[in-house]
Copies of this chain bind each other. A is one copy, B any other.
Amino acid sequence: MKKFINEVEQVENQMIQGMVKAYPAYLRKLDCGNVVVRSEKKEHKVALISGGGSGHEPAHGGYVGKGMLDAAVAGPVFTSPTPDQVYEGIKAVATDAGVLMVIKNYTGDVMNFEMAGEMAGDEDIPVRQVIVNDDVAVKDSLYTVGRRGVAGTVFVHKIAGALAETGADLDAVAGVAQKVIDNVRTMGAAIRPCTIPAAGKPGFELAENEMEVGIGIHGEPGTHREEIRTADEITDMLLGQILADIDYTGSEVAVMINGAGATPLMELYIINNRVADVLAEKGIRVYKTFVGEYMTSIEMEGFSISLLKLDDQLKELLDAPADTPAFKA
Contacts and interface: CB of A to CB of B under 8 A. Distances in A.
A231 interface: yes
B269 A231 contact: no
A57 B181 CA distance: 31
B265 A264 contact: no
Interface in A41-67: 54-55, 57-58, 62
Contacts of A17: 269, 273
Interface in A21-43: 21-23
A5 interface: yes
Given A3-B267, A269-B57, A262 B21 contact: no
A251 interface: no
A271 B234 contact: no
A18 B276 contact: yes
Interface in A243-301: 255, 257, 261-274, 276-277, 286, 289-293, 296, 298-299, 301
Contacts of A22: 255, 257, 269, 272, 276, 289-291
A234 B5 CA distance: 10
Interface residues of A, number: 63
A26 to B, nearest CB: 11
A273 B14 contact: yes
A270 B22 CA distance: 10
Contacts of A232: 6
Contacts of A18: 268-274, 276, 291
B296 A265 contact: yes
Contacts of A5: 230-231, 267, 270
Interface string A5-20: 1110001001111110
B4 A234 contact: yes
A224 interface: no
A328 interface: yes
B57 A270 contact: no
A208 interface: yes
Given A15-B273, A272-B22, A2 B265 contact: no
A228 interface: yes
Interface in A145-198: 191-192, 194
Contacts of A106: none
B191 A2 contact: yes
B266 A298 contact: yes
A288 to B, nearest CB: 9
B264 A264 contact: no
Given A19-B269, A273-B17, A289-B23, A299 B57 contact: no
A141 to B, nearest CB: 22
Nearest to A190: B4
Which 6 pairs across A and B sit closest by C-beta, in order of nearness?
A18-B273, A262-B262, A18-B269, A57-B265, A21-B276, A328-B328
Interface of A: 2-7, 11, 14-19, 21-23, 54-55, 57-58, 62, 191-192, 194, 208-209, 228, 230-232, 234, 255, 257, 261-274, 276-277, 286, 289-293, 296, 298-299, 301, 303, 326, 328-329
